[in-house]
Amino acid sequence: MLNTGNVLPAKIQPPLLRPMAYRVLSKKYGLNIKSDGLATLAGFVGNMFGMNWKKDPDTLQFLERFALLWRQQERGLFVDDQGVRDVVNEMKERERATVSASLQQEPSKKSKSVTIDKMLNREIPASSPIRISTENDQILVENETIEDQIDNEVASDEEQLDWRNYFKVINSSEQAKYSYDPVKLQFTFTPVKKSTPSEEFRSLIKDRVPDINSNTSIFSNRFYLIRDRLLRNDSFQNADDFNPLSSIAAMQQDLNNGSGEISRAMSVTQIKNLLGRDGQNFLLLGLLSKNAKGGWSLEDPSGCIEIDISQAYPTKGLYYVPGCVVLAEGIYFTVGHKFHVSSVTHPPGERRENTLEAIGNLDLLGLHGQASSNYVARLDKELKIRLHLLEKELTDHRFIILGGVFILGWNLIPWKHSSKVLTTISDDPPTAIILHGSFTAVPVHASMSSRNVSSTTLYQSIFDDLADLISSFDEIAQNSTFVFVPGINDPWGSTVSMGSAHAWPQQPVPSRFTQKLKRVCKDVIWASNPTRLAYLSQEIVVVRDDITDRLKRHSIAFPMEELTQGIKLMEPKSDDATSISQLVKENDQLPTRIRESRKLVKTILDQGHLSPFVTSVRPLVWNQDNALTLHPVPSTLIFCDTTAPYFDVTYNGCKTINPGKFITGRRARYLEYNLSQKKASLEELYF
């Protein structure tokens, strides 16, 4: 219909098309037509249907198909110029694909006769004989045959899904950027402007140096996301029954009992509303940071207030560091304009399914459609179900995860150790092998002397040696995907930081060091840090950062907590008698390794960010902060932290695993993660 080309084009004035477009698009499908969209639509109708566009029934059919496709793509209520062009181009592409499919599968003369025989064998009323002599009837029969073939192709496509089409690695710079609108409570796609050749140098500078607006919106976006997530919690829906001095204690008790729901209602007050309300109880939500006086302050978009934490009791099992968003309850005094905190905790988390439903099932990774200013891709529920069922069938798919791999200096990892690991997994190659850096024990930096081998040359040689090692395992090199996640000693950030924490996210290892490895391995991906892996219906976030030590260094010391611990240590103990309470194990009496791992996971997921610090503690790349956001929480979080032991923790449906160090004593440790069952097992090789 769109590619006929057998009519003389005509120029249609937009007012002439308005009655028909209003009858179909507005009255039937509820769409509002803008003037520029109507003009563009009139131009297409005149080119396709010519002078007889009013009498041609294909015009109404075209408008019907146009409206259906517009509604399917969820382009909104307003039909504009760019949207009309995109939808019409999509219709042309679909019709062109239909015609090409029919031509490729055109049957031979023999098969045509068989098809006609089958058609003649059907029970056909005498009043409607089939004639194939005229041109119109022949076209009608061919169109029906094409439609049947398309239906069969669609049915076969629904039955078969290739998992390779839904396995992708998205680096931080490739992730689609969305800005959160706190007024409309929705995400807005931020398109990347294409620069002209004359502006190429200027755009290059802009990409390397973010603008100041990105810096000012880092913590405001983080606060709004946590605030709206908090207000979706059932405990903040009704403020009629509210007692702030017991709210956090009751909330913690409900969470410890495993009920999953909080029985008491709570209400959050903005900081600006404290003015003039002396001696009253409030519950505040704000960003915790140090002020110019050296004390602590709480800040939200409405204002900032100094807080006194000398009498505060923090909720156990959480880290409190400058830069995290906390819930603080206490009493406000106008004298000194200070808020005296009685208890403090983190905002409760939210499951991935609930967050996706709240934001309209947006495809934030851009896997199922390319987003634009007029169109935002969304996750198809039926496709998610089919992908989930396909995951359950692919029981042999697994990841091999190696943490803290130092390739440089084989005194740390002898050749036989790495070769032994590859030999173990060579019989059944995994889907992917994830290697976390740093890949050198010494930061790569610019050499000051030409007498010795430069660090960059030595760094390139270690990947060449690794390529020689992998080349001896053909099954792994051809069937497994290698994913390299850099660390703090890898270039080029190491040239500035010299091994300390530098700006995050970190870009992939430069391609100049990886040429030989790319030739040896069939599929090798140099990922950023952090990076995201999309596998069928799962979203997997891979991170390499020693965050445990940083959380402990910058953790806030609450005086009341230290006083309580000191009193317990000072209590006299009798050597002769032992009470029964000391022999009975309490519910929260867990090994230190488990308690510390739960503490780390809960802090990160409740904050919804991989770096819950102020920028003075952990510098950030301003315009890539969206790559560090965990909103919604991923299906799996692979957090490689060599300062923490191995752990496997599931919180709010998010499975978080840490492979730890690769070499521990005389053992080589790695994780084997089964994607179908979402189970991780720690494997050890002794040498």
Is residue 626 within 8 A of residue 532, CB to CB? The reply is no
User: DSSP states of 623-680 as a string?
Assistant: GGGGGGB-SSPPSEEEEE-TTS--EEEEETTEEEEE---SEETTEEEEEEEETTTTEE
Range of weakest confidence among 115-119, 163-167, 235-239, 499-503: 115-119
Contact 470/521 with Cβ under 8 angstroms?
Answer: yes
Contact 551, 604 (CB under 8 A): no
pLDDT, average across residues 251-268: 59
Tokens of 277: 């309300």
3-state helix, strand, coil in the chain (%, to 5): 40, 20, 40
Q: Hey, which residues does 639 pair with through a beta bridge?
A: 543
Position 421 scores a pLDDT of 86
**How many other C-beta atoms lie within 10 A of the C-beta of residue 500?**
10
**pLDDT (average), residues 227-243:** 73
Give me the pLDDT at residue 251, please. 57
Asked whether the predicted pLDDT for residue 191 surpasses 90, the reply is: no
CATH class, 352-545+610-686 region: alpha beta
Q: Quick check: 177 pLDDT over 50?
A: yes
pLDDT on residue 483: 96
- pLDDT average, residue stretch 461-475: 89
Find the range with the poorest average confidence among 197-201, 501-505, 628-632. 197-201
The CA distance from 374 to 364, in Å, is 15
Angle 466-468-470 from CA coordinates, rounded to 5°: 70
Reading phi first (left if > 0) and then psi (alpha if -120 to 50, else beta), residue 113 is in alpha
Rounded to an integer, the average pLDDT of 293-321 is 94
Burial grade of 435 (CB within 10 A; 0-12, 13-18, 19 or more): buried
Which residues have a Cβ under 8 Å from the Cβ of 85 and sit 6 or more positions away? 40
153 or 638: which carries more pLDDT confidence?
638
Residue 222, phi then psi, degrees to nearest 5: -60, -40
**pLDDT over 80 at 577, yes or no:** no
pLDDT range class, residue 206, cuts 50, 70, 90: low
pTM as predicted? 0.73
Q: Is the pLDDT of residue 201 over 60?
A: no
pLDDT value of position 443: 84
Per the DSSP assignment, residues forming a β-bridge with 539 are 534
Q: Tokens for 193?
A: 């402007």
Question: Looking at the predicted structure, is the pLDDT value of residue 143 above 80?
Answer: no
Q: How confident is the model at residue 309 (pLDDT cuts 50, 70, 90)?
A: very high
Query: Is residue 466 over pLDDT 90?
Result: no
Angstrom distance (rounded) from CA 66 to CA 63: 5
Q: Please calculate the CA angle 318-322-328 and round it to the nearest 5 degrees.
A: 60
pLDDT greater than 70 at residue 595? yes
pLDDT band at 514 (very low <50, low <70, confident <90, very high): confident
Please, what is the angle between helix 455-471 and helix 415-426, to 10°?
Answer: 40
Q: Flag the least confident range among 6-10, 219-223, 333-337.
A: 6-10
Q: Is residue 232 classed as helix, strand or coil in its secondary structure?
A: coil
Across the chain, how many H-helices and E-strands are there?
A: 21, 23
| pLDDT top residue among 325 and 211 | 325
pLDDT band at 506 (very low <50, low <70, confident <90, very high): very high
pLDDT of the residue at 133: 38
| Single-letter residue type at 122 | R
pLDDT value of residue 405:
80
Please spell the DSSP secondary structure of 325-357, one letter per residue.
EEEEEEEEETTTTEEEEEEEEPPP---HHHHHH
Q: Per residue in 6-55, pLDDT tens?
A: 677 888 888 888 888 888 888 888 888 888 889 899 888 888 888 888 88
Would strands 667-674 and 398-402 be described as parallel, antiparallel, or unpaired?
Answer: antiparallel
Q: What is the pLDDT of residues 72-131, one digit of tens each?
A: 887 877 888 888 888 888 888 888 877 776 666 555 444 444 443 443 344 434 434 333
Q: Is the confidence at residue 378, as pLDDT, over 60? A: yes
Q: Domain boundaries in the chain?
A: 14-99, 352-545+610-686
> Which of 65, 55, 51 minimizes the C-alpha distance to 2?
65
Least confident stretch, 207-211, 348-352, 537-541, 576-580: 576-580
Mean pLDDT, rounded, for 206-215: 74
Which has the higher per-residue pLDDT, 99 or 256? 99
Residues 6+ apart with CB under 8 A from 206: none
Is residue 416 predicted with pLDDT exceeding 60?
no
Share the mean pLDDT of the chain.
Answer: 80
